[in-house]
Structure 1
């Protein structure tokens, strides 16, 4: 047995030496206590240790080479102290965490975490092109590459790194709007190739256990992150690329949207219909008809069409008075038939051709040029358009076609940048214009920026991505959770879909309802579609409308829970939708599952993805037992179960020991208060102690958390043989005025009527029925309180 192992190792080393023998080790030097330089016969490898979980690697052809500045990463000050171990043929940069092992002859580089190998260079960096490859394990699952519909395991695919729209996709799409140069693995590491230029990411498409990254130009640089759990990996990744700012509370409500509302009257009539049907609504989105009567020829007008929207200021004010915000679509294309064409040419804000003139070309909407969002003049010009529309009453922004959808390679951007060098960061730079100008001119506001294309780190500019023009079919629906889960693991936690599907004219009420029920547990709740079939529930059949209303009402009831998820994302980088493997990172079967996922920490959700599906196979994570959210039926963790479905809702479960706050249902979030919440506690004797916190602020002021303008409610439950204790702490920061006065507590699965219940030493009344203990009107003031339940 030992002889076989030895022969296998020797064969492996021989193969590796053949591939690596082109590079020779020469020397190493220490730049500072956490940065090391390896000199080889072809150039220099620089290893910069950021902390125990994060390492940056750069390749320099000479020691003084300056690489292009990163568009995604800002390195924090290092917290690492590295020990160097060296002998005749090996060199190790060691810490308790990520480490690098160098073999001098033949030259080889391995990356290890806590002594376990993660991956190793195969041929190292190429000196001829921007290319690097790695040898990986035979059985690891590979994910990433941005937004794709390929299944959770993307190993075996070569992924183009070029943002491109895919109209009408369903269960498979190899190339979409976010082509991110990121790989993450079931071995609990993440690789970010820090270069936005177009290229390819090959995830072992030749089945030779190799990852290859290749770009057309740019920096030879990557960051490697590894940890024991995915939460730590994501916190580190978003510390590098930026965290999503907390959005305004209204953005978690329901949107009315379609392609599109043709007039002011139609817009106001639609909003009125929601109020008439008592279906909650917080925003209406105007597609391209707001600036033109026709689809063709009007793009670039960027001003209200007065024939159909005669008084937009009055319309948007009337809507806002009802708690409904107006979101406007904008595009970066300037058609030659646009009212603003001459203005744009004179202002010199368009991308150029080789002669220095505005580069024009044909695409679907007409003959066009492209606004150069990298040019300071264009940034100012574009922002002034947004600022003027904001002064008219617009509240949010929808940036469409920002791949850019058609972007010829011969175009020359500001500072002589080629199209392929900036294509993938165009959408990010566009969002940055809006976000940074809000910071400068409206620093108290949180902007809403909906966009469908961008690059690593786009989340730090408040970008809310969506999954493009998905087909309005069951196949289109089936790919949506996968896309959101993958993107959330790559920093963009608000990836969501056009609820109900966008492309096509399929009228299928069952599909529509199931998609909207799923939407309760996705980051943005926005039904949207081509207008051949209504996207809004108020214009659907009674069957679809009534079930959609029920789903939307649940979305509003969950607002305190969802707002806390948004807060967690803004402070820790943890996505709202979470794959099951985050819960059990060493359960490798879970890396292939997207049809069941976690919504935050405490909900387990399994959408109904097939027509007339009567059963759903659901995995219950082993970390807890679980309760059916609608029936309170209990399920043991660590196993699969077949769950019967019903039309009223989708299979939804709550973690044992969880507190779930439910708010009153309001027509808009404008009427929401963090008061009178009903906290459901899911009691299970296996959970002896449970702690949850819930964040609240005014829902609109930027940087409320940083400026200590918020409150937190902390609930800590402990269960003992004779007594159970709930400690309640209400933390109110000095710059916040709280409305919280009382809460209600509902203990699920409480098996025995209590002997007594005391709150701060005083007896309180309660109701007990069907294993549910209900305690109403628990008074809350700032500070700590104690509720004792004697069994």
Structure 2
């Protein structure tokens, strides 16, 4: 037996000399782990090397390839820095090699190369069961390898992830998924398990996850090697945090990006766009953003990046008026393709910066994998939009479209099929990293595709050109939850679906209203769609388009979104600093309650609010499961229920069922017409007193990067159930023009005579007996 302790470089030898026979793999130790060389053995898998690298006590990188050079090819996505030296042990026997940390044991079978992962209690988390690296060659990609890794999952283990796959199921077990990028489909090869671990399959070609037979496998069409990262976490939040450690932190979005965003396909001219914003303000319906979608360039063609001089004359003046008069931001649509023979296309063409991918009327796609093409594309976006004052960019069709043609092209990195799923990643990287060098305000980009790591480019993903019915709405709930469980936190849908829908049709009005209620509790709150009449491409989609009664219902939810901004903005900070997830499958917070593992029509919005969308036509009641471990309060009626039971609750058209977890403090601000209208001088604290409760209220300057330099405040708020005492701690931190005085208006939910109590606060600690 050989025991190797990394930290102190201590070897304990049971034999004075150790020799390896020709059929025993060679074991090479290094600073971060070990390489097992099977290349001179007669055992399976002959001719390969497997590397086990310890990146942290809970993160292990597994690589299998045929040469040292292939083993050491760096990941395009993962930053493999080790924050601090990791203490781990290596133990060898004649049959196994074990690498262990204080959290994990990784055991490699020296006879067949299979690996299993156990926790420190020897509970098996994940087991490999065979692997393949098979050479193949064709005229498009040349000489390549295909790869396959078999895994054995536990019988009752529930798995999540793989991105946006448009299934009405949350659990991905027992299914087969083809992982590529298409309109309405965002594939991210990340899996999370209810056993408390996650796995990132580090490959960018078309891949397959297949759990339809006894042996589950992940396979990729093209791969130099098999490579994946195993992340252990006692909670799913820990796994997501590990993924962000590996691939990048999500920066904070500006506060205005958490308000309401109005859009339609499309605002045909300046007058129509400005009239919508003006009417929104006149009706006192809160609004932060208007979106100017495609064809604002008139007949100049996709990729021209101009404002049509007839429909949108003097765009700088329009943008300035939106900002100064209406306090409204504007986001503009941009495509990755350029119409042939327009001036911008010629700029790319002369330096061979285009893919051989012609999308017809949409033009020819630029090679986002090429840094030179990325620089040119950014320069054009900056000159045409950012320098004119546009507040954010909507990068449409970043899969890009026509997958069957795209995968046959050659890109800067080689055969595009090898990097198939990364176009959006590089497209956002090209713009974000260059913009970030000079940006004073936080960057917002909305995009139709994505991959793990794209969160660090501030990307907000959406689910593409989806349907407009209840069936589609049902699918969006688990679809969005699974996307958010791949480490990308900001996601949304076209509220009401994309293609079709008549605002004058009572049946569609119901779909839109129920969808809008759901959209209130997605990370990005945006109505969009190509409504009737479809042919004109400018069907109305504003709240007043759906009739007076529905307008009032929709306005109620916009108002609620703005009241919740103190809560939502605090959660957004946790996304950036703790690797948190805003839109949460119930397993995030109630892993021990197996009843929630496959619930696909309820979710948590932050850790306080459980959202239960209404997904059936003409529904006035719906069944809801209340997770074990706490009491639950009906947000609208304050009725209280014990957890661990299924109830039926009323849900007339004006109501989406919302339940607040007992032991919560829910801060709510005033209704504002836009997110930064004024400071929150009055904050209501709703206390749901099942158990002790805490909340750490976060504030900063809302739309710059000073928070990275410590310019923010946090106010710790806690409630002791036993003492019935509210403690508001001293304000921690500071920033320019911060509030120094405010009122907290406190309500104990469920308490008799539960009137609001106003507590003046000046930044010093308060203990108040309630």
Whether 2:129 is the aligned partner of 1:122: answer yes
Matches within 5 A, 1:438-477: 438-442=435-439, 444-477=440-473
Whether 2:198 is the aligned partner of 1:180: answer no
Match of 1:541 in 2: 547
> Which one of the candidate residues 296, 319, 338 is aligned to 1:290?
296
Deviations along 1:487-513, one digit per CA (max 9) or x if unpaired, are: 111111111111111122344111111
Report if aligned partners of 2:670, 2:680 keep a CA contact under 8 Å in 1: no
> Which one of the candidate residues 237, 256, 260 is aligned to 2:262?
256
Match of 2:526 in 1: 526
1:730 alignment partner, SS class: coil
> Which one of the candidate residues 325, 328, 335 is aligned to 2:332?
328
Cα 1:24/1:254, change in 2 over 3 Å? farther
The 10-residue stretch of structure 1 (464-473 or 659-668) with the greater mean CA deviation from structure 2? 659-668
Whether 2:683 is the aligned partner of 1:701: answer no
Cα 1:218/1:460, change in 2 over 3 Å? farther
Deviations along 1:375-395, one digit per CA (max 9) or x if unpaired, are: 233222211222222221211
Q: CA deviation at 1:113?
A: 2.0
Q: CA deviation at 1:360?
A: 5.3
Matches within 5 A, 1:287-436: 287-292=293-298, 298-321=301-324, 322-336=326-340, 338-346=342-350, 348-351=352-355, 359=356, 361-363=358-360, 365=361, 368-388=363-383, 389-407=385-403, 408=405, 409-415=407-413, 417-436=414-433
Distance 1:350 1:743 in 2: 58
Structure 1 gaps of 5+ residues are: 1-22, 167-175, 352-358, 753-768
Distance 1:42 1:349 in 2: 39
Matches within 5 A, 1:164-243: 164-166=182-184, 176=185, 178-196=186-204, 198-205=205-212, 207-243=213-249
Distance 1:68 1:525 in 2: 40
Q: TM-score, normalised by structure 2?
A: 0.89
Report if aligned partners of 1:313, 1:392 keep a CA contact under 8 Å in 2: yes
Matches within 5 A, 1:144-155: 144-150=161-167, 151-155=169-173
Report if aligned partners of 2:686, 2:749 keep a CA contact under 8 Å in 1: no
> Which one of the candidate residues 38, 55, 63 is aligned to 1:58?
63
Whether 2:154 is the aligned partner of 1:137: answer yes
2:676 alignment partner, SS class: helix
2:619 alignment partner, SS class: coil
Report if aligned partners of 2:150, 2:215 keep a CA contact under 8 Å in 1: no
Cα 1:216/1:634, change in 2 over 3 Å? same
Distance 2:113 2:685 in 1: 60
Q: CA deviation at 1:79?
A: 4.4
Cα 1:311/1:117, change in 2 over 3 Å? same
Q: CA deviation at 1:315?
A: 0.8
2:188 alignment partner, SS class: coil
Report if aligned partners of 1:243, 1:572 keep a CA contact under 8 Å in 2: no
Q: CA deviation at 1:463?
A: 0.4
Deviations along 1:133-156, one digit per CA (max 9) or x if unpaired, are: 222223322322211122112223
1:479 alignment partner, SS class: helix
Whether 2:250 is the aligned partner of 1:244: answer yes
Matches within 5 A, 1:555-570: 555-570=561-576
Q: CA deviation at 1:67?
A: 4.2
Match of 2:30 in 1: 31
Report if aligned partners of 1:522, 1:577 keep a CA contact under 8 Å in 2: yes
RMSD: 2.0
2:368 alignment partner, SS class: coil
1:290 alignment partner, SS class: coil
Deviations along 1:146-196, one digit per CA (max 9) or x if unpaired, are: 111221122233222210114xxxxxxxxx1x1111222222221111122
Distance 1:87 1:422 in 2: 40
Structure 2 gaps of 5+ residues are: 1-21, 39-45, 136-145, 533-538
Q: CA deviation at 1:107?
A: 4.8
Cα 1:692/1:335, change in 2 over 3 Å? same
2:419 alignment partner, SS class: helix
Report if aligned partners of 1:25, 1:39 keep a CA contact under 8 Å in 2: no
Distance 1:381 1:67 in 2: 32
> Which one of the candidate residues 66, 83, 93 is aligned to 1:87?
93
Q: CA deviation at 1:539?
A: 2.3
Match of 1:627 in 2: 633
Distance 1:714 1:346 in 2: 59
Distance 2:131 2:351 in 1: 47
Distance 2:133 2:484 in 1: 31
Whether 2:176 is the aligned partner of 1:158: answer yes
Q: CA deviation at 1:773?
A: 3.3
1:678 alignment partner, SS class: strand
Cα 1:373/1:360, change in 2 over 3 Å? closer
1:50 alignment partner, SS class: strand
Match of 2:11 in 1: none
Deviations along 1:102-137, one digit per CA (max 9) or x if unpaired, are: 333455322212211122221134254322222222
Distance 1:494 1:467 in 2: 11
Whether 2:677 is the aligned partner of 1:671: answer yes
Distance 1:68 1:404 in 2: 26
Matches within 5 A, 1:484-633: 484-506=480-502, 507=505, 508-532=508-532, 533-633=539-639
Q: TM-score, normalised by structure 1?
A: 0.87
Q: CA deviation at 1:347?
A: 5.0
Cα 1:489/1:451, change in 2 over 3 Å? same
Q: CA deviation at 1:219?
A: 4.1
Distance 1:526 1:301 in 2: 26
Cα 1:787/1:163, change in 2 over 3 Å? same
2:170 alignment partner, SS class: coil
Report if aligned partners of 2:623, 2:648 keep a CA contact under 8 Å in 1: yes
Match of 1:71 in 2: 76
Distance 2:217 2:595 in 1: 21
> Which one of the candidate residues 459, 474, 477 is aligned to 1:481?
477
1:503 alignment partner, SS class: coil
Report if aligned partners of 1:135, 1:209 keep a CA contact under 8 Å in 2: yes
Distance 2:623 2:342 in 1: 53
Distance 1:607 1:672 in 2: 31
